[in-house]
Structure 1
Amino acid sequence: MQRLLFALIISIAGVAVLVSLGNWQVRRLAEKEAILAEITARITQPPISLPANPDPVKDKYRSVVVDGVMLPGEIHVLVSLKKVGAGYRVIAPFKTKDGRRILIDRGFIAPEDKATDRALGAMQVAGNLHWPIEIDSYTPDPDRAGNIWFARDVAMLAEALKTDPILIIAKTDADSGVTPLPVDTTGIPNDHLQYAVTWYGLALVWALMSIYFLWRTRAKARGKNS
């Protein structure tokens, strides 16, 4: 009887833990969907002028528009696109009408276009403010001689191009040879529904196994007592 009671307690505890983990993932799903909705609203809102002191948290993904001059001296960040392959993001310095120097992520170019001259001079750029976090302990240092960078670190890019640490991801580009890569939410993981289904599935399996184990244990006990 004590063995049966112990097994029952373990069974109930196991199901309770797994269900609670599933419930937690459901709550996280709701939170993530709210965050994604807020990001989408920022991305798609009508553009505003570049704030005087944009905040990396409050103004991340903010839709903005700037007028000024695209300057020479671009940096190439190695990337890979699905169904396209390897290439480079073009990060260029841009001088606004009020004299501020900022960074523009113009978009994607193929490897063979690395040495091609791109449109410079007066233009308007519409896009979204962004401070991507792409560097970790495994990221190689930039190959400055070959102008090949392996991540977008706004502070490092700004230092290299002598600009303010402000990056705008362009929605369009004046150069037809550049394919813009506008900001969207597709790269932000949202796997909480899958995790919730997994935990609930494990809870169901645990419950079924526990029922079977308890039934077998009770059947054996009855067999010994008969």
Structure 2
Amino acid sequence: MRRILFLLIFGLAGLGVLLWLGIWQMQRLAWKQNVLSEIERRISADPVALPPQVSVGADKYLPVTVSGELEPGEIHVLVSVKHVGAGYRIIQSFSTRDRTILVDRGYIPTTAKQADRLTGPMEITGNLHWPDEIDSYTPEADIEANIWFARDVPNLAAALGAEPVLLIARSETDPNVTPLPVDTVGIPNDHLQYAITWFGLALVWAAMTGYFLWRSRANSESDAT
């Protein structure tokens, strides 16, 4: 009986922990869905004028419309677009009456790297963003070949002589450049998969606990006879 009681307590304790982890992941899922909904609401809001003072925290995803001049000279950031293939994001400086910011115009295929693109006066609508794309595995930019591997806003701004403010265009700036507007697709949300994993482990744990209890009881009855 002592062995059966130990197995029962141990089994119930383990089952409780696994179920709690699964429930916690479901709570995290609800929280993340609310966060993503808020980000999507902010992204799709009506555009406003560029704030005089831009805050990385408060103005992330802010939709804005700017009027000014898209200046010559561009930086190519390597990117891969699903179902399309490898290409480059085109980053250029954009001058308004009193300031210069960065604009991510969108995607071109690798074969269009040397093609001419429209510059000059235009109005652009998009979202402010400071992408977090750099980790310890990100290669250094190949300045000579004009190939960058991440949108490192401060370094891009230094290279183009602009403020470290990046506007990702959602309006077209050139017929041959495809806008890649901001969305929530790249924000990870794996909590449902984690919850399923924990609940699956809880089911296996319960089954194994039941099996060991049955074996222990059968062995006890066999020893008694």
Question: Which of the five TM-score ranges fits, normalised by the shorter chain?
Answer: over 0.9
Aligned to 1:177: 176
TM-score by length of 1: 0.97
Match of 1:54 in 2: 54
Q: Distance in 1 between matches of 2:44 and 2:205?
A: 45
Shift of 1:201: 1.2
Counterpart for residue 38 of structure 1: 38
> What pairs with 1:78-117 in structure 2 (closer than 5 Å)?
78-97=78-97, 99-117=98-116
> Percent identity over the alignment?
57
List 4+ stretches of structure 1 deviating above 3 A: none
The equivalences for 1:1-226 within 5 A come to 1-97=1-97, 99-226=98-225
Could you tell me how far apart the structure 2 residues matched to 1:104 and 1:39 are? 20
CA distance in 2, matches of 1:198, 1:51: 45
Question: Residue deviations 1:111-141, cap 9 Å, x none?
Answer: 1111111111110010001000101111111
Offset at residue 69 of structure 1 (A): 0.4
Residue 174 (structure 1) shift? 2.5
Task: Quote the Cα distance in structure 1 between the aligned partners of 2:124 and 2:59.
Answer: 17
Distance 2:43 2:30 in 1: 20
What displacement does 1:51 show?
1.1
Provide the aligned C-alpha RMSD in A: 0.9
Query: What secondary structure is seen at the aligned counterpart in 1 of 2:199?
Result: helix
Q: 5+ unaligned residues in a row in structure 1: which ranges?
A: none
Letter of the structure 2 residue corresponding to residue 82 of structure 1: K
Secondary structure at the counterpart of residue 73 of structure 2: coil
Amino acid at match of 1:141: E
Aligned AA for 1:11?
G
Note if contact 2:105-2:173 (Cα within 8 Å) is conserved in structure 1. Answer: no
Shift of 1:205: 1.1
Unaligned runs of 5+ in 2: none
